[in-house]
Structure 1
Amino acid sequence: MLHLASRSPRRAELLARLGLEFGLLDLDVPEQQGATEAASDYVRRVAREKAGAGLLEVVAVPGAVVLGSDTEVILDGRVFGKPADAIDAAAMLRALSGRTHEVLTAVSLVSAGREAQAASLTNVTVEPLSDADIQRYLDSGDWQGKAGAYAIQGRFEAHVERLDGSYSGVMGLPLRETAGLLRAFGLLP
């Protein structure tokens, strides 16, 4: 049985698009980048740790497979995680304004005897944002709990000038890469 190690309703929605039944695991896995850890290593590690923590929860389930994923916004090598508050969110949005940044999503799939990982890198260009644009977005609340202080599938999409890569990856689960892993594990035809 497949299990999704995530609290994200977006990831669950995306995984459901692949037509599989799965269970949800509500885990609390620390997301703290090491002082010298490269952004790509950090994202891959967190995805692997989520999947591993999930596997520990369902180890007694025969044939259990756990999917863990992590998504981060990266600008100039700096990881923009989830903002602590509206002030932090505003600072992130100002930094992203008029710039192209990367969104890296790593997906890990683990079972009792196997592990595989894939990643998706997408370049997102945000139009220049006025202070009023930023304030309206903050007032919407859509920034809360979102890497880089935005959700592409919400109101912020109107500010995205260009996207090169995986839209579902920016949402939190790149479907092409995820489907490839699920096929390798025999969970998709």
Structure 2
Amino acid sequence: MSVFQKLVLASGSPRRIELLQQAGIEPDRIVPADVDETPQRAEHPRSLAKRLSREKADKALEKLSKDSEWEGGYILAADTVVAVGRRILPKAELVDEASNCLRLLSGRSHRVYSGVCLITPSGKVRQKLVESRVRFKRLSREELESYLASGQWRGKAGGYAIQGLAGAFVVKLVGSYTNVVGLPLYETVNLLAGDGYKVYFNWLSGTRAA
């Protein structure tokens, strides 16, 4: 495959890597792009997800700008935000943060926004914003305490991971499941394919086992 087909993922998230692999896409390089994820004053969750995905892509591009080997590659970045109304929930790192998030989500609906940003070999910037609605059951004290004890909330937006134990809390989901996991596959694949990336190369060659 030529240099123009190299794909850089501006994220170290195992979930995003696994989702790309699920679609038969193997990033050629992982370049985690750490940015300040603090929301701006009165910033809407949608705007935050879109802004952070662009900043991550730009940060990765900056890191690679002096590396001629990666000139002309595709750079893919994403950011996922969980919100109740306009209230943006944190990526929980402390048990108290996770507990507060889960108590807020218990018995009500929330929204998950993912911004996806692609910088193409020609330097064009393509972006998508995807929204899903999720409703949680009312959590009992035992459910809450048991989930907190599992540790699966750590580092997760909103204090939960739908692909893990918290999937049992979901009463209803409207929209993309993979968006809630962290990378909306339909929109991501369309972005890549629309700008010439050979998304289906591994499908046709049979190089990736199911």
TM over 0.5: yes
1:155 correspondence with 2:165: yes
Which residue matches 1:100? 109
1:36-95 deviations in Å (ceiling 9; x for gaps): 211111110000001111111222322111111000111021111212411111111000
Partner AA of 1:73 in structure 2:
V
> Following TM superposition, where does structure 1 have runs of at least 4 consecutive aligned residues deviating by more than 6 angstroms?
none
Match of 2:145 among 113, 124, 135: 135
- 1:44-83 superposed matches below 5 A: 44-59=50-65, 60=68, 61-83=70-92
Alignment gaps of 5+ in structure 2:
1-5, 201-210
2-structure distance, mates of 1:157, 1:165: 15
1-structure distance, mates of 2:103, 2:42: 25
Shifted more, 125-134 versus 145-154: the winner is: 125-134
2-structure distance, mates of 1:140, 1:21: 30
The number of residue pairs the alignment matches comes to 189
Indicate the SS of the match to 1:30. Answer: coil
- 1:1-189 superposed matches below 5 A: 1-22=6-27, 23-59=29-65, 60=68, 61-111=70-120, 113-187=123-197, 188=199
> Is the 1:58–1:64 Cα contact (8 Å) retained in structure 2?
no
Partner AA of 2:49 in structure 1:
V
Alignment gaps of 5+ in structure 1:
none
Identity %: 40
2-structure distance, mates of 1:7, 1:29: 13
Query: TM-score by structure 2 length?
Result: 0.87
Indicate the SS of the match to 2:146. Answer: helix
> Is the 2:49–2:79 Cα contact (8 Å) retained in structure 1?
yes
1:148-176 deviations in Å (ceiling 9; x for gaps): 00000000001111111101000000000
**RMSD between superposed Cα atoms in Å:** 1.2
> Which structure carries more strand by proportion?
1
